[in-house]
Amino acid sequence: MPSLTLAEARARADLLTVSAMEVDLDLDQGAEHFGSVTRIHLSAATDGETFLDIDPVTLHAIRLDGRDLDTGMLADKRYPLDLVAGEHVIEVEATMAYSHDGEGLHRATDPADGNDYVYGHTFLDAAPSVFACVDQPDLKAPYRVTVTAPSDWVVIGNGAAEGGEGAVWRLRETKPLATYFVTVCAGPYAQVRDEHDGISLGLYGRASLRAELEAHAPEMLEVTKASFDYFHSIFGVRYPFDDYDQVFAPEFNAGAMENPGCVVLRDSYLFRGAVSRSERLTRANTISHEMAHMWFGDLVTLRWWDDLWLNESFAEYMAHRCLVAATDFTDAWVDSTMARKSWGYAAERSPSTHPVAGSSAPDARSALANFDGISYAKGAAVIRQLIEYLGDEAFLAGIRDFLTRHSFGNASLADFLAAMERAAGTDLDSWSTAWLETAGVDALSVERESATLTRAVPEDHPADRPHQLDVATYSGGRETSRTALTLSEDTATLHGIDLDAPLVLPNAGDLTWATSLLDERSLGALLTELPSLEDEQARAVIWVGLRDQLALGLVDPRLLVDLGERALPGERNDSILASAGMHLTGKVIRNYLPEDEQAAARSRMADLGERILAEASAADPGGSRELHAARLVARTTTDVEGRLRPWAKGEDLPPSLVGDDDFRWIVLGQLARQGALRAEEIEQARRADRTMTGNLGALTATAAIPTADAKAAAWADLTTNRERSNYELVAIAAGFWGPEDRDLVRPYIERYFTDIPAMAGHLGDSALGRVASMAYPSRFATPETLELSRACLARDDLDMAVRRAVVDAQAELEQVVASRARYGA
């Protein structure tokens, strides 16, 4: 299917206006296919040729103004139309296929009870696999949707369900929507309903997760209500759509999707077992993020995909701002530093880096290549810089102007900047060029001798970015001085700063987007200063800065392992403890350390986990630190008989983890990697946990078994089994590369670069990209792997989603190879 080009979209927008969409879906035709009837009401400005988008199994009929057209004209998922000027009605009858890769109308079976569930994800170019349409973001229209479903199903969509008879659900007509926001969710969902400020609220989850839904509903509804109140107070526009439903759907590709009135979220947010505060914060952030999209993205929609940042950067920023101002998650910006900005900085280091805004997207699919941590985390940081530049009052006035002026329509970066300029009375051309339209991240460092703060601009992406930031100093864990300044040149003199302090930290409050480089004296002081440092935001900036310096080859990975041992036992911020621990075990030790040092380092992490576990179990049983410590032990220990087997049997566990099947699968996965669990035992455990999570845990554990036969079977399952869902493929890839005996999987390094690209024919872009990233042989950081990877990228037939995954993974592999060359001895 050719991806819609910008030129084609502009031509259609000039010719067509879509005034109404009527969609009838029949979901009661079995597990493979569904019926789709669409009536498109549109007008043509002049006589002209154009096309509809439709991706059917069978196109039964297409009629233009009541006249039958030749169904054989459909080609490459496009149906050509020759229209005369004036009003038209196009009716399309088709049979469509459910997907299993998370795109279009995805259908999944819950092994817990055999129930089926459907969700619609029409993002980017998936809508034509659900209904016929003119599929581009700037041709919005109201939708009237009718759904026929099995009699025991619930149907949720963008419009609230109105009366109906039997299994026919009629959804209230929506406000104008872009095609990629249209969704239908259906199945025997459990539900919790509430109301707030005149808005009907609904939470939905699988029937087998009813207990979890009801247990977590009070907190999720509290965050939902607080977010509504906060956004109403600052946006000046009330929530503009229908009921506000949140559907926790199985096998959802993304974290969530902001469909107006019917947000779809991954159902792993309905935590089955013990849950940490950082996980609850992440869920709260996702809830608030998707709600912010009701204004940014849904009410005002991008005109074309190259302004996708307008959705994500603002929702990212607004969610964190909301959590700090209106909920108990007042440390949300610390979590942003650890979990979000580190993601964005990694994207900036990759050859695939791009500007926040203004990246050329000549067609719809190419836009997906720029949908990453830069769109989210860097964009949010840039918004914070804009507020520092303009002032919060002018910023909010500009937002209100922008939302009011473009309500239920489309807008672009130029429209947004114009609103900001009107509000602030200042020109933003140079600011936009530097921050929004130029890629790259500046490096900030302090020179003690000259008392200067230095800005190093990346050579490949030169820009004059002004930074509003602070610099702080610390001694004995306490702040000794702090100054706020604007860095508008390459150097600035620091005043009122204690440069004799052991630790000097640029961007201590994490107000700007930059790599904070520590001087040699500060690096040398970390082992004593970081464990006692009182400022949790500064601790987060240090940990993330060390990740950057590690990737840049500026620090020895052993320092991070030493810091983990020293600082994490006393770490009380949940996000820092969880994120730093995962980075140490999953990146630093697994990849950066020389191979002959990795086992000893993992043993040190297991001992660290045991120390924190013992202290937390005594001081705060059932708390987050206890949970993170137990997970750290389960991921790293090799004590099969003394620790792993008893935990797998439910023995000697902290009370909060007794009966926690999710934790048990972590333990079983480690037992499998150690060669201490047979496939038959894994299958027995799966039968005891007949859930989607149990199935995924079993797939990961089975793929981890360190035998040649198990690896061959897992690789074949991953690369050739077309019945596997998106989640199942990722689960298999997650367990594959782990055995101590690297020779077991070494032959699959070369096979990755042929077998994974071949999966492009049957997986959608989002699922394929996730599988290609997870399955990349990053554990084998050698020049030979790099040579194979580079040869793969030299192919001219490589799918775009695979290419982006390989580019990013290879960039990290190159960093690891360089680090090992420098620090390997």
Assign residue 639 a region (left: φ > 0; alpha: ψ between -120 and 50; beta: otherwise).
beta
Q: Look up residue 594 and give its DSSP letter.
A: -
Distance between CA atoms of 246 and 601, rounded to whole angstroms?
43
Catalytic-residue membership of 290 = yes
| Contacting residues for 500 by C-beta, under 8 A, at least 6 apart | none
Q: Which of 290, 312, 388, 812 is catalytic?
A: 290
Distance between CA atoms of 313 and 672, rounded to whole angstroms?
41
| Contacting residues for 412 by C-beta, under 8 A, at least 6 apart | 302, 303, 304, 307, 310
- Cβ pair 541, 505 in contact under 8 A: yes
The counts of H helices and E strands in the chain are: 28, 28
Locate 262 and state its tokens.
């019917």
HSE-CB for 800 with a 13 A CA cutoff: 14
Which one, of 368, 371, 153, 119, lies nearest residue 267 by Cα? 119
Locate 94 and state its tokens.
């088709």
Locate 392 and state its tokens.
């919060």
Whose structure tokens read 């990246």?
359
Distance between CA atoms of 814 and 428, rounded to whole angstroms?
37
Task: Please report, for residues 590, 745, 749, 759, the alpha-carbon distance to residue 593 in angstroms, rounded to integers and kept in the order given.
Answer: 7, 19, 20, 32
Pairing mode of beta strands 168-171, 116-121: unpaired
DSSP string, 311-362: HHHHHHHHHHHHHHHHSS-TTHHHHIIIIIIHHHHHHHHSTT---SS----S
| Contacting residues for 36 by C-beta, under 8 A, at least 6 apart | 23, 24, 25, 26, 56, 92, 93, 94, 95, 96, 130, 131, 132
**Distance in angstroms between the alpha carbons of the first and the last residue of the chain:** 51
Sign of CA dihedral 168, 172, 173, 179: negative
- Cβ pair 121, 360 in contact under 8 A: no
Q: Which helix (H) or strand (E) holds 291?
A: helix 277-293
Whose structure tokens read 């569930």?
117
| Contacting residues for 188 by C-beta, under 8 A, at least 6 apart | 115, 117, 152, 153, 154, 207
Sign of CA dihedral 228, 232, 234, 235: positive
Locate 3 and state its tokens.
């991806």
Distance between CA atoms of 378 and 383, rounded to whole angstroms?
9
Distance between CA atoms of 556 and 522, rounded to whole angstroms?
15
- Cβ pair 230, 240 in contact under 8 A: no
- Cβ pair 256, 290 in contact under 8 A: yes
Distance between CA atoms of 266 and 692, rounded to whole angstroms?
12
To the nearest 10 degrees (0 to 180), the angle between helices 708-720 and 692-704 is 130
Phi then psi for residue 513, to 5 deg, are -105, 105
List b or e across 794-809, with b for residues whose CB sees 16 or more CB atoms inside 10 angstroms.
eeeebbbbbbbbbebb
- Cβ pair 356, 435 in contact under 8 A: yes
Distance between CA atoms of 243 and 229, rounded to whole angstroms?
16
Query: In terms of DSSP H, where are the helices of 391-515?
Result: 392-405, 413-424, 429-435
Give the catalytic positions in this structure: 290
